Structures are given as structure tokens and as C-alpha cells.
Amino acid sequence: MRAMVMTDRPDGLSRQRLSPHERPQPEPEGPFDVVVRVAAAGVCRSDLHILMGELPVSVPHVLGHENSGWVHAVGPMVSAVEVGEPVLCYPFVSDGLSGPERRGVDSAAPGRRTPGIDCDGGYAEYLLVTERSLIPLPADADLAAMATLSDAGLAAYRACRKAAATLGPGSLAVVLGVGGLGHLAVQILRSISAARVVAVDTRAEARDLAMSCGAHHACSPGELAAAAGSEAAAVIDFVGSDESARQGLASLSFGGAYFAVGVGGSLTAPILQLVANETRIEGVYVGTYPELVELTQLALRGDVRPAVVPYRLSEADKALTDLAEGSIVGRAVLIP
Ligand code: ZN
């Protein structure tokens, strides 16, 4: 029996299962609404943060903010997509009218919805979005792989685009954490820069994945100082911990940039060190629709190949547990 996983308590891992019969598929309500039949939903560490009550979001709702599928039903004004078309779901759903959206930064739109974060998401068979949030895909696109682009890939891509501005040919880029985002970042850096890429992970199998993704060198955190010295022009931190931040800053060369993507820990540094080294520190939050379109092109031409670990939708609990235990190499997706 297929089941949907809902968060029902902000203070623990308890979840409520509802069968599709108890929760009917959504209908288009607004004129620009689209119901997507879910092909795949990525399993993100943010889902664990929501389940543990560590993110300030309202519950209960269905998880899943990294989705792909096929257009199932459309509102009367929808013109950008057609029923049956495969689509990638940009994670933010909004009307496009606010100042941030007009500047292309939907992630900062005050009235946005983020399915799976603050309303029902894609750990389900159907998902309600609007046409503005959809990217049409070719009929032969691998929808399980494409789903991972909409959040994991997008945040990695935005970080790599920012980093690439400082990465000359032969300069050093350090990727901290080779999980669902980091393994994509290695490939993106190889695709859009001529930098030397060093990937860091505690797990040997993740280091192997980094090498297969094109890293020039992979090492454990304890080996980073020997591998990178203080030569990195850019560090992208997908771990997010006191220790990863400390190591990241220590790896930077003069004028180097540290990009924080993973959420956790605190960053502290002597201001003298920041001044003397002209260090830049920048957070990266998901990405823009145009960036997701660009990343989709990289994936469609084979430059970025997500390492997908598929689970059935009914195995959502196991996928989340495996993610929490660090046993997933690549990105888990749920397939209804
Ligand atoms: Zn996420």
C-alpha cells in the first residue's frame, strides 16, 4: 500500500501515515494552478531538520521540496505547460509581483509558498503548484535524476557560480561534504570552471563518489590541511558545523571566499585574520529560477549526473533514517 509521510509533531520523528484514499489528489484552485503527478521527490537534510522541530515552519504538512513529475491537471489560464508534459518543480511558488521576485530572487519573496517546507510537498502522488514554478523537460528526461536538481543541485549550482567568479584556471576550490549537494558541486565546478577541485568527506565511499564525479583529489577532514594548505580561492561548505567552518576559513588564500550552504554550527574568526587576508564570507540559499534552467541544461547534456539512490514512497521512513545515519551515498529520491 502506498503511504504519504506527514510531519505531525515538531519535537520528534513521529509521523502519521495517510493512504491516498484519505487524502484526495489536489485540484487546481487558482487560474494558474497546476497539479503535478509526482515522478520523484528528493530526500533532503532539511526534511530531518523539520521533523526534529529545528526549522521555524508550520506543521503538519506533507514533506518533499525537491520534485519532478508530469503535468496532471491545469487551471483555466495555464499556458506555459500542457497536460502530460514532464516538468521540474522550482521549489518556490509565488505570483512574481514582489520586489525580490522582479529582481529574480523568488527565495526572498514575502508571499512565497515552498511545497514541502510550509505546505504540502512531493512525498505524495500529486502536488499542487503554479505554472510559474515549472520548467518543462524533454520527454526522455530522467525525472528521478532531474528532481535532485531542484534543491540539492540548485543550491550547489548557485554556490559554484559565485565561487567560479574567483576561480581562475588552476586555482584551488575546496568542497566540504560530498553528500547530495557536494557530489553535484564537484561536477558543476568541473563543468563551469578550470579550477582544481579538492573534495573532503569523512566517508571513504563518499570520497570515491567525489573522484568519480571528477574531483582532482579527495581526502578526509584530517588530511585537508596537507592537501590544500592555505591555497584555496574558494571553499564551499556543505557540512555546516563549527569545525567545517574553521577548516574552511583556514584553507583560504588571500582574497579567498567561503560559501556557507550546509546549515549548522557557528562561524568565528579573528577580525584581524579576515582583514589581513581580505576574506569574503557569503551564505547561499537555494537559487533562482534562471539558475535552475541553466543547471537543467548542464544535466541534459550530461555534464552533471546526479547519483540517485531510489526508494519507494512507502519507504520514506527508511530513506530518512538512512540519511540521518549517513549511509546514503548520493541523493535519495522517493518514487511513488
Ligand atoms: Zn532541501
Q: Quick: pLDDT tens for 26-78.
A: 999 999 999 999 999 999 999 999 999 988 888 899 999 999 999 999 999 99
Grade residue 5 by pLDDT with cuts at 50, 70 and 90.
Answer: very low
pLDDT of residue 7: 45
pLDDT (mean) for 5-20:
43
335 or 10, greater pLDDT:
335
3-state secondary structure the chain: CCCEEEECCCCCCCEEEECCCCCCCCCCCCCCEEEEEEEEEECCHHHHHHHCCCCCCCCCCECCCCEEEEEEEECCCCCCCCCCCEEEECCCECCCCCHHHHCCCHHHCCCCECECCCECCCCCCEEEEEHHHEEECCCCCCHHHHHCHHHHHHHHHHHHHHHHCCCCCCCEEEEECCCCCHHHHHHHHHHHCCCEEEEECCCHHHHHHHHHCCCCEEECHHHHHHHHCCCEEEEEECCCCHHHHHHHHHHEEEEEEEEECCCCCCCCCCHHHHHHHCCEEEECCCCCHHHHHHHHHHHHCCCCCCCEEEEEHHHHHHHHHHHHCCCCCCEEEEEC
**pTM: predicted TM-score of the whole model, two decimal places:** 0.92
In the reported structure, the alpha carbon of residue 89 is separated from the centroid of ligand 1 by a whole-number distance in angstroms of 13
Distance of CA 308 to the CA centre of its chain: 13
CA-only gyration radius of the chain, Å: 20
Grade residue 23 by pLDDT with cuts at 50, 70 and 90.
Answer: low
pLDDT tens, position by position, 282-293? 999 999 999 999
Burial of 156 (C-beta count, 10 Å sphere; 0-12/13-18/19+): buried
In the reported structure, the alpha carbon of residue 215 is separated from the centroid of ligand 1 by a whole-number distance in angstroms of 23
In the reported structure, the alpha carbon of residue 262 is separated from the centroid of ligand 1 by a whole-number distance in angstroms of 10
In the reported structure, the alpha carbon of residue 230 is separated from the centroid of ligand 1 by a whole-number distance in angstroms of 31
pLDDT of residue 74: 97
Grade residue 142 by pLDDT with cuts at 50, 70 and 90.
Answer: very high
Other C-beta atoms lying within 10 Å of the C-beta of residue 204: 10
pLDDT of residue 25: 85
In the reported structure, the alpha carbon of residue 65 is separated from the centroid of ligand 1 by a whole-number distance in angstroms of 6
Grade residue 6 by pLDDT with cuts at 50, 70 and 90.
Answer: very low
pLDDT (mean) for 131-160:
98
In the reported structure, the alpha carbon of residue 189 is separated from the centroid of ligand 1 by a whole-number distance in angstroms of 20
pLDDT (mean) for 223-242:
97
In the reported structure, the alpha carbon of residue 157 is separated from the centroid of ligand 1 by a whole-number distance in angstroms of 14
In the reported structure, the alpha carbon of residue 49 is separated from the centroid of ligand 1 by a whole-number distance in angstroms of 10
In the reported structure, the alpha carbon of residue 5 is separated from the centroid of ligand 1 by a whole-number distance in angstroms of 16
Euclidean distance between CA atoms 166 and 232, whole angstroms: 10
pLDDT of residue 56: 87
Residue 17 has pLDDT above 70, yes or no: no
Q: Are 175 and 182 in contact (CB under 8 A)?
A: yes
Share of the chain above pLDDT 70, in %: 93
- Residues recorded for the chain: 336
In the reported structure, the alpha carbon of residue 37 is separated from the centroid of ligand 1 by a whole-number distance in angstroms of 20
Euclidean distance between CA atoms 153 and 66, whole angstroms: 10
Q: Which three cell numbers stand for residue 253?
A: 588564500
In the reported structure, the alpha carbon of residue 273 is separated from the centroid of ligand 1 by a whole-number distance in angstroms of 32
Q: Are 140 and 165 in contact (CB under 8 A)?
A: no
Computed over every residue of the chain, the mean pLDDT equals: 93
Residue 327 has pLDDT above 90, yes or no: yes
Q: Which residues pair with 63 in a beta bridge?
A: none
pLDDT (mean) for 305-317:
97
pLDDT tens, position by position, 167-213? 999 999 999 999 999 999 999 999 999 999 999 999 999 999 999 99
